[in-house]
Chains A and B, each alone.
Chain A
Amino acid sequence: MLCDKCKKRPATVHITKITNGVKSETHLCGECAREEGELTLISESTFSFPSLLTGLLQTQAGIGATMPIHNHVSADCENCGLQLSDFTGKGFLGCSHCYSQFGSKLEPLLRRIHGNSVHTGKVPKRLGGKIGITREIENLRRNLARLVSDEKYEEAAVVRDEIKALEKRLSDDG
């Protein structure tokens, strides 16, 4: 068996990765394995990730449209100039603006990688104020609905006032 990377030397290192019960195997020669850091046991392997992504994007393009993806997306990223075809080739976006620029194209990909989800983790402190308030309003609204259905109107009125106050703070901040 030849090395997956250089396709010249015989493969002597076999890397198995199991994700969701699906096994993927990479076969490398000693030299390429060293270069990819596969022999350093603690390092994070990045080999074959971009090709995996490219595969995902191409299968999407294949649904309903047989044209390669760059034929029906013409816009470049306004901030960094990246074209979507560059992304499908390498698996990396160009800058943070690319996500909004190519939003509709990336959304199904993000869903396939991460499931149907939004970020619920850490928020940078400088943004914490605003996002924190939005999250709190959402929580209070759920609380309010529960109180109303339990016919606890007095408590509900208090919560409603809290929501109003927070909404005012949001709009005052712009």
Chain B
Amino acid sequence: MQLKDIMNKTYSAWMDTSAPCTDVALSSRVRLARNLGNNPFPNHASPAVLAGVANQVENAVRQTPELSGLKVIHLSEVSAQDRQVLVEKHLISPQHAKNAENRLVILAADESVSVMVNEEDHIRIQTLLPGFQLNDAYKLADKTDDYFESRLDFAFDENIGYITACPTNVGTGLRVSIMVHLPALVITGQVKAVLSAVSKLGIAVRGIYGEGSEALGNMFQLSNQITLGHSEQELIENLASVTMQVIEQERSSRGKLIAEMREQLEDRVQRAYGLLNHARLVTSQEALKLISDVKLGAELKLIPEVNGKTINELMVIIQPAYVQYLAGRALSPTERDAGRARLIREKIRTGREGNEK
């Protein structure tokens, strides 16, 4: 497996729509933060220390049979533009893309596991699975952690648990998050009340807003707020039970919408579908908004010819660096919007043809 293969592949394992609750939950993500014994944390370490840490981790991968399927990538050997694609594919953080020297990313071929070396902490194990699979995402991260731990000496304190560069992460070093798509709660004006209630239950909520008052793509991220004082299982169960309630509320709002406002809803999703199929210039913000409407339409069987996988792929390939990567060169903003519009049309067409077969 080469880095090129990963970059060229627009489909990633997390886009699978046969996973549980993909009608609302997009993806489940787990991150474990770990650090190596006496070495200063990356933000405070010399290049020599960083190189030493990178070397130790790389050796651990090579010496552990269970980890040998992972691909070790030195970010200094990847162009800035390509690193941005890795960010848009959710494999590394923007911060990790910025400082490339002595930084590694270690990837599984299906992109379900990615390990950042020398980001904020020496090691950040991340797993990403489709739909509502918090437990399985944790199991995968936990197992990967065990393999690394068999070779590496992680900093740990009996009282404050795993030691991390930022005190907000000590203890389990666990951040477990789920991305949910809540268009019906937004349309019916309930989203604020629901999310504000959620935030009082130890869950942090993040939404992104573009122009106007609707969250970009109606996507919200729910994650555990604290990392110390509860076991991994408790943190995951808390997030899972809160998420399940949010999913139920979104589903019941969708049911109400379709029962009471079917025509308006159909008009809205078909307009969005029409634009995606025919527009010649599309910005990434507009694309996310349209994709959200089409996704809602597809979940409610209002646009039967669009499948969920296509929509999930679209969310990644419409991003600026990815559009340029697929074009094979740097693009002006207008060229980028044109390229994006073309990619969207092609993806929808091939998705539709795939359905017909």
Contacts and interface: CB of A to CB of B under 8 A. Distances in A.
Interface of A: 12-23, 34-46, 49-50, 53, 79-80, 82, 86, 90-97, 99-100, 106, 109-110, 113-127, 131, 134
B41 A18 contact: no
A93 B319 CA distance: 34
Nearest to B145: A122
Interface stretch (B194-202, B238-246, B263-271, B342-350): B194-202
A90 B155 CA distance: 21
A58 B43 CA distance: 22
Nearest to B165: A92
B230 A121 contact: yes
B154 interface: yes
B226 A114 contact: yes
B42 to A, nearest CB: 9
Contact of A20 (B157, B221, B225): B225
Contacts of B219: 41
Contacts of B330: none
A82 B40 CA distance: 9
B204 A41 contact: no
Interface of B: 26-27, 29, 31, 35, 37-41, 43-44, 87-88, 90, 93-95, 98, 120, 128, 142, 145-146, 149-150, 153-163, 165-168, 170-172, 174-175, 177, 179, 195-196, 198-200, 204-211, 215-217, 219, 221, 223, 225-232, 235, 284, 288, 315, 319-320
A136 B27 CA distance: 37
B171 A119 contact: yes
Contact of A21 (B88, B161, B200, B231): B200
Contact of B168 (A15, A41, A49, A96): A49
Contacts of B162: 119, 122
B172 A21 contact: no
A19 to B, nearest CB: 5
Given A16-B209, A40-B319, A114-B227, A122 B39 contact: no
Contact of B206 (A45, A82, A113): A45
B227 to A, nearest CB: 7
Contact of B40 (A16, A40, A94): A94
B287 to A, nearest CB: 11
A93 B93 contact: no
Nearest to B320: A34
B177 A44 contact: yes
B95 A46 contact: yes
Nearest to B34: A124
Given A50-B166, A94-B44, 20 more contacts: A13-B209, A15-B207, A18-B196, A19-B204, A19-B205, A19-B225, A21-B200, A36-B94, A41-B217, A41-B219, A41-B315, A42-B90, A82-B44, A96-B155, A110-B160, A110-B228, A117-B228, A118-B160, A127-B156, A127-B158
Contacts of A82: 40, 44
Given A41-B315, A121-B171, A15 B284 contact: no
B228 A17 contact: no
Nearest to B204: A19
Contact of A92 (B29, B44, B90): B44
Contact of B167 (A39, A113, A120): A113
Contacts of A106: 167
Nearest to A52: B168
- Top 8 nearest A-B pairs by Cβ distance? A117-B229, A119-B161, A37-B94, A96-B155, A114-B228, A18-B199, A14-B209, A94-B44
Contact of B156 (A37, A110, A113, A123): A123
A99 to B, nearest CB: 6
A86 B40 CA distance: 14
Contacts of A118: 158-160, 228-229
A82 B159 CA distance: 22
B155 A42 contact: no
A20 B119 CA distance: 28
Specify which of A40, A100, A117 lies most central, judged by the most chain B CB atoms within 10 Å of its CB.
Answer: A40
B207 A114 contact: no
Given A18-B205, A93-B167, A96-B35, A124 B229 contact: no
